[in-house]
Amino acid sequence: MEKKKSTTEEIEEVLQEIGNKIEDLIQKGAEAGADVKDEIEQKIKDLKDNKTSLEEELRKGKEMLEREFKERKEDLEPKIQESKGLLKDGFKQIFLGIKALFGKK
Protein backbone atom coordinates (compact mmCIF):
# COMPACT_ATOMS: atom_id res chain seq x y z
CA MET A 1 0.00 0.00 0.00
CA GLU A 2 0.92 3.53 -0.62
CA LYS A 3 1.88 5.59 2.37
CA LYS A 4 -0.51 8.46 2.86
CA LYS A 5 1.19 11.86 2.91
CA SER A 6 0.40 14.23 5.65
CA THR A 7 -1.11 17.58 4.82
CA THR A 8 2.11 19.29 5.80
CA GLU A 9 4.13 17.10 3.47
CA GLU A 10 1.71 17.80 0.62
CA ILE A 11 1.94 21.54 1.24
CA GLU A 12 5.74 21.36 1.39
CA GLU A 13 5.81 19.42 -1.89
CA VAL A 14 3.51 21.93 -3.60
CA LEU A 15 5.61 24.83 -2.27
CA GLN A 16 8.77 23.10 -3.52
CA GLU A 17 7.24 22.72 -7.01
CA ILE A 18 6.16 26.36 -6.98
CA GLY A 19 9.69 27.40 -5.93
CA ASN A 20 11.22 25.35 -8.75
CA LYS A 21 8.82 26.87 -11.28
CA ILE A 22 9.62 30.37 -10.02
CA GLU A 23 13.35 29.69 -10.42
CA ASP A 24 12.74 28.37 -13.95
CA LEU A 25 10.72 31.47 -14.79
CA ILE A 26 13.39 33.76 -13.38
CA GLN A 27 16.05 32.00 -15.46
CA LYS A 28 13.89 32.11 -18.59
CA GLY A 29 13.10 35.76 -17.90
CA ALA A 30 16.79 36.56 -17.57
CA GLU A 31 17.57 34.75 -20.82
CA ALA A 32 14.64 36.39 -22.60
CA GLY A 33 15.59 39.71 -21.04
CA ALA A 34 19.07 39.45 -22.53
CA ASP A 35 17.60 38.63 -25.95
CA VAL A 36 15.07 41.43 -25.69
CA LYS A 37 17.74 43.82 -24.41
CA ASP A 38 19.98 42.99 -27.37
CA GLU A 39 17.06 43.44 -29.76
CA ILE A 40 16.12 46.80 -28.20
CA GLU A 41 19.74 47.99 -28.29
CA GLN A 42 19.96 47.01 -31.97
CA LYS A 43 16.74 48.90 -32.72
CA ILE A 44 18.06 51.96 -30.88
CA LYS A 45 21.31 51.75 -32.86
CA ASP A 46 19.34 51.44 -36.11
CA LEU A 47 17.21 54.45 -35.20
CA LYS A 48 20.31 56.51 -34.37
CA ASP A 49 21.89 55.49 -37.69
CA ASN A 50 18.69 56.41 -39.54
CA LYS A 51 18.55 59.73 -37.70
CA THR A 52 22.12 60.50 -38.74
CA SER A 53 21.47 59.60 -42.37
CA LEU A 54 18.20 61.56 -42.39
CA GLU A 55 19.95 64.59 -40.92
CA GLU A 56 22.62 64.31 -43.64
CA GLU A 57 19.96 64.04 -46.37
CA LEU A 58 18.12 67.03 -44.90
CA ARG A 59 21.35 69.06 -44.85
CA LYS A 60 22.08 68.15 -48.48
CA GLY A 61 18.52 68.99 -49.52
CA LYS A 62 18.69 72.33 -47.72
CA GLU A 63 22.00 73.21 -49.40
CA MET A 64 20.57 72.27 -52.81
CA LEU A 65 17.47 74.42 -52.25
CA GLU A 66 19.55 77.37 -51.05
CA ARG A 67 21.82 77.08 -54.10
CA GLU A 68 18.84 76.85 -56.46
CA PHE A 69 17.12 79.81 -54.75
CA LYS A 70 20.28 81.90 -55.01
CA GLU A 71 20.71 81.04 -58.71
CA ARG A 72 17.09 81.82 -59.52
CA LYS A 73 17.23 85.02 -57.51
CA GLU A 74 20.31 86.11 -59.46
CA ASP A 75 18.53 85.25 -62.72
CA LEU A 76 15.35 87.08 -61.74
CA GLU A 77 16.95 90.12 -60.04
CA PRO A 78 17.24 92.19 -63.27
CA LYS A 79 13.61 91.44 -64.15
CA ILE A 80 12.49 92.36 -60.62
CA GLN A 81 14.35 95.67 -60.81
CA GLU A 82 12.85 96.35 -64.25
CA SER A 83 9.38 95.55 -62.92
CA LYS A 84 9.89 97.94 -59.99
CA GLY A 85 10.84 100.71 -62.42
CA LEU A 86 7.84 99.99 -64.63
CA LEU A 87 5.55 99.96 -61.59
CA LYS A 88 6.89 103.35 -60.46
CA ASP A 89 6.40 104.74 -63.96
CA GLY A 90 2.87 103.34 -63.99
CA PHE A 91 2.00 105.08 -60.72
CA LYS A 92 3.49 108.33 -62.02
CA GLN A 93 1.33 108.09 -65.14
CA ILE A 94 -1.77 107.33 -63.07
CA PHE A 95 -1.00 110.29 -60.79
CA LEU A 96 -0.47 112.55 -63.82
CA GLY A 97 -3.74 111.28 -65.33
CA ILE A 98 -5.67 112.02 -62.11
CA LYS A 99 -4.01 115.41 -61.88
CA ALA A 100 -4.96 116.18 -65.50
CA LEU A 101 -8.47 114.89 -64.93
CA PHE A 102 -9.08 117.31 -62.08
CA GLY A 103 -7.32 120.14 -63.89
CA LYS A 104 -4.53 120.72 -61.43
CA LYS A 105 -1.14 121.73 -62.71
> What ranges do the domains of the chain cover?
8-105
Residue 104's pLDDT band (cuts 50, 70, 90):
low
* Prediction pTM value: 0.39
d(CA 51, CA 58): 10
d(CA 26, CA 30): 6
Mind listing the pLDDT tens digit for each residue in 47-95? 878 888 888 888 888 899 888 888 888 888 888 888 888 999 999 999 8
Task: State the chain's mean pLDDT as an integer.
Answer: 81
